[in-house]
Structures are given as structure tokens and as C-alpha cells.
């Protein structure tokens, strides 16, 4: 699976063969079965995680047992808990596989060392962080400003393949609505 990660890296920046070997040497490939955890609430997150295949979700569970999905990560996306990674504090999130998945993990310390040694990796990460901030800002705006129907329409426009790939109860959780509300909106759109 490192070959998928390598292909991704080469699509983002110019890496030498030696740099790719350094990255591969630090990489751990982990396969997850559907519903298997990558991270559980209370654990300290210690990796940068690239999704080579499959789909994962990051979520919390409230006192009533309801799930609140923060985000999904599919092929060629990154996932993890940056707050726990940087602070060393236990995570407040769970990350599990929505479907059978494969991730490439690199320990935080090794990743930071690689960023210092490989300028292309450093620039790539800076670009990813910038884009992630913009996506998070847009998501916050959608959550606080849009009606339920507008949220679903925006979701379909931004992530059209997700509607077919991700169970509807998870889409509803991500959008901050009940499954019943999402079902009603979907019926009205048809």
C-alpha cells in the first residue's frame, strides 16, 4: 500500500527516490476492518495518518449515547487528532473504519524529522494545513448558517460520492440532524 501513498506524494510535490525511501522507512501500513478503531477516546494520538484505501470517520459520543461525526476521510485524505498529537493529551474523539480500510501511519517524531529533512514534504504539509483550515471554516459557516435542506444540498455538491458510500445515519450525524429529518429532505428532493 505504500505505492498508493508514494503516488499521492508525487502528485503533490517533487520528491527524490532517496526522500521517498526515507518516508517509506518511517511508514507503518495498517489494515482496518469495518468498524475497527484507529483511535479511541481517551488514547493519546501519536501519528500522522494517510488513508490509502477505504473510509474512516472521526466522531464523539455524548452522554446520551448519540454519535456526532466531525468528519470523514477517504482515499488520499489524512485523518487523526491534531490537538492530541500536538498536546500529548488524551483524545476526545474516536476514529473508526466505515468500510474496510488501509492507512499509512508515521509517528509524530519521525514525521517532524522528515519535514525538517525534506523541504518538499514541509511545503506539502503547509499547503494541507492551509486547505484544511479553509474547509473547517466553510464547515462552521454551513453549520451555523444553513437550514437542514441547505446543509444536505451543500454536502451533496461538495461530496457527491459520499451520499452513495456512507450510511445515511452517519450523513445525518455529520450534518447535525436526525435520520428522520434527512429522510424527509431526501424524499422532498426526489
Query: What pLDDT score was predicted for residue 2?
Result: 87
> Taking a C-beta distance cutoff of 8 angstroms, is the pair 48, 5 a contact?
no
Helices 119-145/148-158 angle, 10° precision: 150
Per-residue pLDDT tens over the stretch 13-68? 999 999 999 999 999 999 999 999 999 999 999 999 999 999 999 999 999 999 99
96 strand-pairing partners? 37, 57
What does the alpha-carbon distance between residue 18 and residue 183 come to, in Å, rounded to a whole number? 52
Q: Could you give the CA distance from residue 144 to residue 5 in angstroms, rounded to a whole number?
A: 35
DSSP string, the chain: -HHHHHHHHHHHS---HHHHHHHHHHEEEEEE-TT-EEE-TTSPP-EEEEEEEEEEEEEEE-TTS-EEEEEEEETT-EES-HHHHHH-PPPS-EEEEEEEEEEEEEEHHHHHHHHHH-HHHHHHHHHHHHHHHHHHHHHHHHHHH--HHHHHHHHHHH-TTHHHHS-HHHHHHHHTS-HHHHHHHHHHH-
Model pLDDT for residues 123-175, shown as the tens digit of each residue: 999 999 999 999 889 989 988 999 999 999 999 999 988 888 999 999 999 99
pLDDT beyond 90 at 102:
yes
What integer pLDDT is reported at residue 162 of this predicted model? 85
Of the pLDDT bands very low, low, confident and very high (cuts 50, 70, 90), residue 1 is confident
Spatial distance between the Cα atoms of 134 and 154, rounded to a whole number of angstroms: 15
Which pLDDT value is given to residue 161?
86
Whole-model pTM: value is 0.91
pLDDT for position 74? 95
Q: How many CB atoms lie within 10 A of CB 124?
A: 17
What pLDDT score was predicted for residue 190?
A: 77
Amino acid at each position: 500500500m505504500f505505492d498508493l501513498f508514494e503516488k499521492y506524494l508525487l502528485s503533490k510535490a517533487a520528491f527524490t527516490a532517496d526522500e521517498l525511501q526515507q518516508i517509506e522507512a518511517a511508514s507503518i501500513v495498517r489494515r482496518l476492518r469495518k468498524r475497527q478503531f484507529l483511535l479511541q477516546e481517551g488514547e493519546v494520538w501519536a501519528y500522522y495518518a494517510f488513508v490509502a484505501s477505504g473510509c474512516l470517520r472521526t466522531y464523539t459520543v455524548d452522554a446520551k449515547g448519540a454519535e456526532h461525526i466531525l468528519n470523514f476521510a477517504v482515499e488520499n485524505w489524512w485523518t487523526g487528532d491534531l490537538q492530541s498529537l500536538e498536546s500529548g493529551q488524551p483524545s476526545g474523539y474516536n476514529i473508526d473504519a466505515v468500510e474496510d480500510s488501509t492507512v499509512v501511519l508515521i509517528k509524530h517524531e519521525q514525521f517532524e524529522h522528515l519535514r525538517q529533512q525534506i523541504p518538499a514534504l514541509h511545503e506539502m504539509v503547509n499547503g494541507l494545513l492551509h486547505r484544511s483550515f479553509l474547509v473547517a471554516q466553510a464547515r462552521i459557516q454551513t453549520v451555523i448558517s444553513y437550514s437542514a435542506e441547505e446543509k444536505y444540498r451543500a454536502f451533496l455538491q461538495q461530496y457527491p460520492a459520499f451520499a452513495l458510500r456512507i450510511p445515511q445515519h452517519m450523513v445525518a450525524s455529520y450534518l447535525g440532524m436526525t435520520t428522520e429529518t434527512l429522510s424527509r429532505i431526501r424524499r422532498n428532493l426526489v
